[in-house]
């Protein structure tokens, strides 16, 4: 087990999914941007770093049948699977390091990430992330990527983060993607603190 995997497994084993700072009952901004990107029942979607997020619940309620949830932490995925019960049987649950995941080319119509990329501050890791997204998303498909904005927190769950604007994210993903829309969110944590998030909706060229 890697140090990062052990860290996130401990986070999800020591706190409930509704107590972590990034918890929201519904990822409203993500859902709005995914709809803008053409989300529909037959969409092939991957939620990278999806963990115990409720996004998968809402996607299932919208009728999606081709959902992959990838996370470094098996404990996070187990929490989501337990919550969903029989509803989660159609979901592909993948415990893996995103940077090492064996994605099939053009496997997905939509790539969703809320707060994975902002943990990748090393240039080599960020470049690998961009390469994985370019490989996995079909031409004409989209990516919705959110993380701490430039005026957001400098750390999350005890770890340093890279704060980026939507334009920063677009620059990082390079010529393979074009920025379509940007959005800011003031997220209120379960403890009542506010955190500035920036989201980018990008289209695969």
**pLDDT-based confidence at residue 134 (cuts at 50, 70, 90):** very high
Q: Which domains does the chain have, with CATH numbers?
A: 3-204 (3.40.50.150)
Token code pair at residue 45: 């979607």
Q: What is the DSSP letter of 90?
A: G
Distance CA 146, CA 164 (A): 9
pTM for the model stands at 0.96
Grade residue 80 by pLDDT with cuts at 50, 70 and 90.
very high
Mean pLDDT of the residues in the chain: 96
Distance CA 187, CA 76 (A): 21
Q: E-strand spans in 149-193?
A: 155-156, 159-160, 177-188
pLDDT at 11: 81
Q: What 3-state class would DSSP assign to 51?
A: coil
Tell me: the pLDDT tens digits for 106-132?
Answer: 999 999 999 899 999 999 999 999 999
Note the pLDDT of residue 46: 98
**Nearest CA to 25 among 83, 89, 72, 90?**
83
Least confident of 6-20, 34-48, 116-130: 6-20
- Specify whether the CB–CB gap between 69 and 147 falls below 8 A: no
Distance CA 68, CA 77 (A): 11
Q: Strand, helix or coil at 49?
A: coil
Segment (H or E) for 136: helix 123-136
26 vs 171: CA distance, rounded Å: 28
């Amino acid at each position: 087990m890697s140090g990062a995997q052990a860290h996130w497994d401990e986070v999800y084993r020591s706190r409930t999914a509704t107590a972590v700072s990034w918890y929201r009952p519904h990822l409203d901004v993500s859902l709005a941007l995914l709809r803008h990107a053409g989300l529909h029942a037959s969409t092939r979607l991957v939620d990278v770093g999806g963990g115990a997020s409720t996004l998968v619940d809402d996607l299932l309620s919208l009728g999606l049948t081709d959902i992959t949830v990838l996370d470094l932490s098996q404990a996070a995925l187990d929490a989501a699977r337990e919550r969903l019960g029989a509803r989660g049987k159609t979901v592909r649950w993948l415990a893996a390091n995103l940077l090492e995941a064996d994605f099939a080319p053009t496997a997905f119509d939509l790539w969703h990430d809320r707060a994975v990329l902002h943990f990748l501050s090393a240039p080599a890791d960020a470049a690998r992330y961009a390469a994985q997204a370019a490989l996995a998303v079909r031409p004409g498909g989209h990516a919705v990527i959110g993380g701490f904005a430039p005026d957001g927190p400098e750390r999350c769950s005890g770890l340093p983060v890279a704060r980026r604007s939507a334009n920063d994210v677009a620059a990082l993903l390079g010529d393979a993607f074009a920025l379509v829309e940007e959005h800011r969110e003031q997220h209120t944590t379960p403890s009542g603190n506010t955190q500035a998030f920036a989201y980018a909706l990008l289209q695969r060229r």
